[in-house]
Structure formats: structure tokens, C-alpha cells
Amino acid sequence: MQEQGTSGGAARVGGLIAGASARVKLEKKRAAAAYPPPGKPLEGISPGEWQLQGYVDETGFLPQNCPVRPLGYDGENFYFVDTMGQVFNTGDSALGVERLQKLFAGHEDFLYWAWPAKDVKKMFADPGFKSERVRRDLFAACRARGAWTMSDTVRGRGAWRDDQGNLLLHCGDAMWIDGQLEDTGEYDGYFYPRRPRSFEPWAEPVKQEDNPATQLFEILRTWNFARGDIDVMFLVGWIGVAMLGGALEWRPSVFLVGDAGTGKSELFGKNGLIRSVLGRMMVATTNATEAGLYQLVGHDSVPIAIDELEGEDGQDQAQKVIKMARDAASGSVRIRGGQNHKGVEFQAQSSFAFSGINPPPIPPANLTRLVIIEMMPLKVTSNKAPVLSAAETVGPRLLRILADGWQDLEYKLDQYYAILREAGHNSRGQKTFGTFLALAHTLIGDDGLKKLGLPCEANSDTYKWAEWLKPDALPELEGGGETWRQAIEFILTSEIQAYAGGVRKTVAEVIEDLRDGRGDSSHEVAFNDTRTMLGHADLGLLSAGKAGYILAVPLSSKKLGRALMDTPFGDPGGNGSWKWALRRAPPQIVSRDIDAGGAPDNRIRIAGRRTRCLFIHLRQFEAST
């Protein structure tokens, strides 16, 4: 695709110049203070006399303008902001001379002035500092600041929101706040440490004619996605979610599935299209472990791309990583064991992009936070993959569009939630699919959507998303739904460990045989035979006459617990969670008791024992599906 006209090129050059100018201003702010030679006064105060002169900071224990700032303490750990703008934790190691030099790296002359080791006259020839006094004052300053933990207050690279709901962007070595580059540090009670540089938003607002999202959409169309433009819209939306990660209340992920030759590497690989957009902002890896990702990402909210997450490679580990993405969708706090038997809190707030040929089984609860993008064989029209114009500026320009559209994003989210609600989606479906649509809309813009032939407000056809994304037609929602319904389905499809007609049948098959009148026996004999067969699964059967049959499910049962072991409801000890799920069903489908001679009771005899049960009214259940 040809690059846009000279006006677009001039705008990009202007943006680059403005960005460089902002960097120069930031570096001037960061310029290190000039300290006097050892033994000389600072601000008219002789070395070591700052306390006598009242030249102290807000804690009362450190000099004003100390290059090291106290953050607080947690047990025997004391936390500081070192001269590199990062968190310095004393930990269990001694805070000796070498560690103090690291803490004050590049500012040793301040140590010589504040805590001189000898007479002022001797300091110039042989400078030094008294480490015990430095430690004393540093620890006292932390005590004055109060208790502090990294898990609650440290925010790494990525997007965040302040207490007023405004957008803050941590760009690694700088902050982007209200359109300006600022130094990292403390803002509104949170600490943003200096990290490796990512990219910051474009220095100037991006005009529609210079918006790269439209070209990005057209390039993504050259892949062969199963749902066409719908999947392209989800991918563009994922880029928006990836960039705004920690600032969003909900951050769904994507899973790209396709055989070799479908273009997964060209899309998400090391030199792929998405990597060229997100650059150093994105963490890309293969064969990742949950623990490794936590250590690598830390407090960042950057996007994570994991290639080759296959079903045959370490099912348990793959499930842990997918569970991590599930928790990251809502920012749930996860606690892991740490050193000295102390728990360590992690709060993943990243959006994930998985890809693979044979993905591992994904439980319904995890699928509701994912969009599955199926990649079909490429329709080859050229041996050369399409490339973005001025690719190195695409990410910053898209990030600027998101930043400028932040205040309107809540409206767009509500708009798409309402559209999907009309289509029959529950709140989870609204959040997952609606978030992608709203972010894609923000990036592309109304004019861009119209140009691409997509539903937009200008054409009054946004209702089409409801038609295209009906819950029943989405593979992501297969097997989902209410947990009570899942529990009933698993019970009905569980295999009875006894033979009927020379084969083992499921609970549903045995009941179906009774309904169809299969066999030569009378109905009464067939009913008793069916009840005996179900007793082998520790289930009971009751007849409600014209209302059909009632399946009695014991509240606890080792047999049933073992039969459901491969489901979320099983337990070898017989105390599975199926009873809690069934209790949430509508009372006309699952009742807690039955009429036993004029009085309600929940106890019936199953396989020779009297036990408490819940009662599934099968005809009503089938009518609800």
C-alpha cells in the first residue's frame, strides 16, 4: 500500500520533532544537582550540619533534596527510591558501604556532604561517609513514612488510571500525563519506577487522514480469518486492549488457532505485523511458565504474546498460563509462596495473545474471557507479506489516539454492551466482545469505520453487531452458561459402571430407553430395571406421571463424585460441588424436596440406602434448553 500524501508525511515528521523536543525538556528536568567538592558547604550549610540548621525534608530525618527518597517499611524490609528511579529494597542483606554506594550511585558527593566521615579539612584529600549514620537516618525516614508494600503501590510499564479516572501512561523511563512527558516517581499514592524505555504516545494529536488504524485493518484483511472482518475487528480491538491494559476494568485476551501455513508467524511472530506495532511494549515468548511470566512482567501491565501453546505440551502448565490470563482479565490478586515463608502477591493486569495449532482444552470459565480467532489457509496473492507505512510510528500514533479518546471510551463501552445485551449476551459476553469492539472503534474512528464498510453510527447500522455476534453462534460460548446447567449435563452424560445390553450406557441413554419403551418388558418392569441401573451410579428415579421423570441426585456420593472427576464438580471423597451448582437452578427445574405422603421430604432410598437428594425435573430441564 502506498504511503499517504505529503501532508501525512509532513505530519509524521512534525510529530517526530515534537517528540524529540519533549525528550530534551524531560532530560533537563532530570539533570543531576551540582554538589560541592568534599568538605565544602551546600546551600551555605557546612558538611554534616544540616540537622542543626533545620535543613530537613518532610520526614525530619533526611536533608532536603536528598537524591534518595524513603518509601516506607514492611517488617524488616525498608524501601527507597534510588538515584536510578527504581525501588531499592534493603531485604535481609546488610546495608553496608557497598550497598549504600549503589543506593546513592552517581551522587556520592552528597553522601560526603551529609554524613562526612572525618573533619571537614581532611575530606577533600580523602573523602568518606559514616555508613552507620546514613543507615540510622534512612531507616528513621522510612519509619516516618509508614508501612508500605510493593504489591499495593508499585505500577510498572503500561497504562493506568488515577483516582479521578484520568489516564496515566508509564512509558518505561518517563510518564505521559495530560499530554506531557514527566519523570517517573510518585503520583497519587502510587510509585512508578523507572524501567526500560518503551514508546510514548505521538507528540501531537493524530488527524483522521494520518490514522494508521485504517491501513492496519486493510492489511489484516489479507489473512484468511474464519469470521472475516469480525475477527479483524477483534484483533484491532486487542491492540487497543494491549496498550491500555491496566487502565481498563476488563482486559480480555485472544487465542489464534490455525495449521501451519495460515500466517500465524507473520502476524504474531518475532518480525510479525503485531510486533511491529507494539514493539518493545509487548513481551513475546514460547513455552512460558506461569512463574516465569510473573518474574518477567512483575508490576508491568504490558501485553504478553505466547506462541506454540499446544495441547500436547504440558497440559498442566498450559492450563496455569491460561488461568493467569483469566485472572488478569479482572486484575485478581494472586498469592504465591515467597522467601522465608512469606506470601508474595502478584496482580497480573496484562492482556494475552496465545497462538497454536492444537490448543489445550480450555474450560468454559476461561473461554468467556477469550476470543478464539480461527486462521484458515492463506489465499496467496503475493509471496511478500504486506507491511505498514512508517511502521515505527504506528504504535505511538495509535497510543495517542487511545489517549485522546480516553474520556469517550466509557460511552463506547456502554454502547457496545447494550448492543450485545440485545443479542442475548450475559454480562461476561458483553464485557469480552464489547471491549474489543469499543477499542477498535476508538482506534479506527467513525470516518474510518465508514470507509472500511463497517457498521457505524453515521450509517445507523451498529445493530448488525448484534446479528453477527449472537451467543448461540459463537464457539467461545459453547459449553458455557449457568453452572447448574453444566452440572446437570455432566450428570446426564456420565457413564454408568454397569452393563445394559452388553454395553455401558450414560445416564441419559438409560432414561431415553425407558421413555422409548425399548425392550419387551412392561412399563412397570422397565421402570424398576432403569431405577436399578441408575442405582449403580448412585442416582434415583421417580415418576411424576404426566409431568415426566424426576432424577434424584444425592448431596454426597463417592460413586457420583468419581463419575464426575473429569469435570469441575467431581470429588473422589464424594463431597463434590454439584450440590451447590444444582441449588442455583430455577425451582421448577431442580427442587430441594418432594411430596412424600403429604409432607415435603428430601430423603429417598437409592441402592439400598436412604439419603438426602436434590431432584431434577427432566421434562422442565429439557424445555429450558
pLDDT at residue 539, as a whole number: 96
**Going by C-beta distance under 8 Å and a sequence separation of 6 or more, which residues neighbour residue 46?**
120
Specify the amino acid at residue 179: G
Query: Does residue 320 or residue 59 have the better pLDDT?
Result: 59
Percent of the chain with pLDDT over 90: 60
pLDDT band for 598, please (50, 70, 90 cuts): confident
472/446 Cα distance (integer angstroms): 29
pTM: 0.83
pLDDT band for 383, please (50, 70, 90 cuts): low
Q: Are 508 and 518 spatial neighbours (Cβ–Cβ below 8 Å)?
A: no
All cell numbers assigned to 454: 463497517
pLDDT at residue 16, as a whole number: 64
Q: Are 162 and 191 spatial neighbours (Cβ–Cβ below 8 Å)?
A: no
Q: Are 455 and 461 spatial neighbours (Cβ–Cβ below 8 Å)?
A: yes
Does the pLDDT at position 520 exceed 60? Answer: no
Strand ranges (E), 75-137:
77-81, 87-89
Q: Are 431 and 252 spatial neighbours (Cβ–Cβ below 8 Å)?
A: yes
Selection from 153, 149, 174 nearest residue 163 by Cα: 153
To which H or E segment does residue 179 belong?
none
What is the overall mean pLDDT for the chain? 88
Does the pLDDT at position 346 exceed 70? Answer: no
pLDDT band for 3, please (50, 70, 90 cuts): very low
Length of the chain: 625
Residue listed under C-alpha cell 458455557: 480
What digits encode the pLDDT tens for the residues 105-121? 999 999 999 999 887 77
**Going by C-beta distance under 8 Å and a sequence separation of 6 or more, which residues neighbour residue 368?**
428, 429, 432, 476, 477, 480
Does the pLDDT at position 339 exceed 60? Answer: no
pLDDT at residue 170, as a whole number: 96
Domain range summary for the chain, segments of one domain joined by +: 33-148, 153-192, 208-475, 483-624
What digits encode the pLDDT tens for the residues 11-38? 666 666 666 666 667 676 666 667 888 8
What digits encode the pLDDT tens for the residues 420-440? 999 999 998 999 999 999 999
Burial class from Cβ neighbours inside 10 Å (0-12, 13-18, 19+) for residue 86 reads middle
Specify the amino acid at residue 571: D
The residues that bridge with 495 in the sheet, in sequence order, are: 506
Query: Does residue 119 or residue 239 have the better pLDDT?
Result: 239
Domain 208-475, classified CATH 3.30.1370.160, yes or no: no
Specify the amino acid at residue 606: I
Q: Are 281 and 302 spatial neighbours (Cβ–Cβ below 8 Å)?
A: yes
All cell numbers assigned to 163: 483516582
Does the pLDDT at position 538 exceed 80? Answer: yes
Percent of the chain with pLDDT over 70: 89
pLDDT at residue 517, as a whole number: 76
Selection from 474, 286, 266 nearest residue 385 by Cα: 266
Mean pLDDT value of segment 39-55: 92
59 phi/psi in degrees, rounded to 5: -80, -25
pLDDT at residue 507, as a whole number: 95
pLDDT at residue 345, as a whole number: 61
CB atoms within 10 A of CB 526: 18
Q: What is the DSSP letter of 276?
A: H
Does the pLDDT at position 374 exceed 90? Answer: yes
**Going by C-beta distance under 8 Å and a sequence separation of 6 or more, which residues neighbour residue 189?**
153, 163
